[in-house]
Structure 1
Amino acid sequence: MLKYIKLFIYSCIFCVLANLIMGVGGAALIYISKGHFYYPFHQVIRAISFGVIAGSAITLAAISFKLIDTFKIKKTLNIPHSFLDGILQICQTHTPTR
């Protein structure tokens, strides 16, 4: 669980910084063409909100892929999904023959 919290924090920070850097790149292009540096405050708020949304999506995708892999492994190894399924499977394989 702790690794997913770390992943969430790191991915949010990365996405926020990536959005801020892209905004600075756009502001640099405006500076080159018009001669003034324009980087409004709402661009910073947008970068933070989009970064948190993207970081959440990255974390959710990682959790989903991990769960899909876990269920695929259980399916290929025939591991029972519940306790009762396990008992039924053991009883069926270990029935005495007459």
Structure 2
Amino acid sequence: MDARCGGTSEAKDADEEVQKICDEVKSHAEDKAGRKFDVFTAKSYKTQVVAGRNYFIKVHVGEDDYIHLRVFKPLPCAGEKLELHGIQTSKAHHDAIEYF
């Protein structure tokens, strides 16, 4: 699917930028999940171009446990911070990242 048409990109391996996004929203994810994560390592992600960019990120949170995050990153001119728009818990390594 073409990300420029509002769909999500193909899944890519997480990089340093995506890990920084995860680090910034970790406390919000913990609040939404109602638990603390000892491990919080971004593994892969998809993006969606909107008025800014949505990141759909698979995050390893320890043992065989994963969560999926939807994080909105506004355009630089908006000057706003990252927003955690959604979280899916109880995911596995093999679960595909889907739009949510």
Please state which band the TM-score falls in when normalised by the shorter chain: under 0.3
- TM, length-normalised to structure 2: 0.23
TM-score, normalised by the number of residues in structure 1: 0.23
Higher normalized strand content (fraction of residues): 2
- Of structures 1 and 2, the one scoring higher in RCO (CA 8 A, sep 6+) is 1
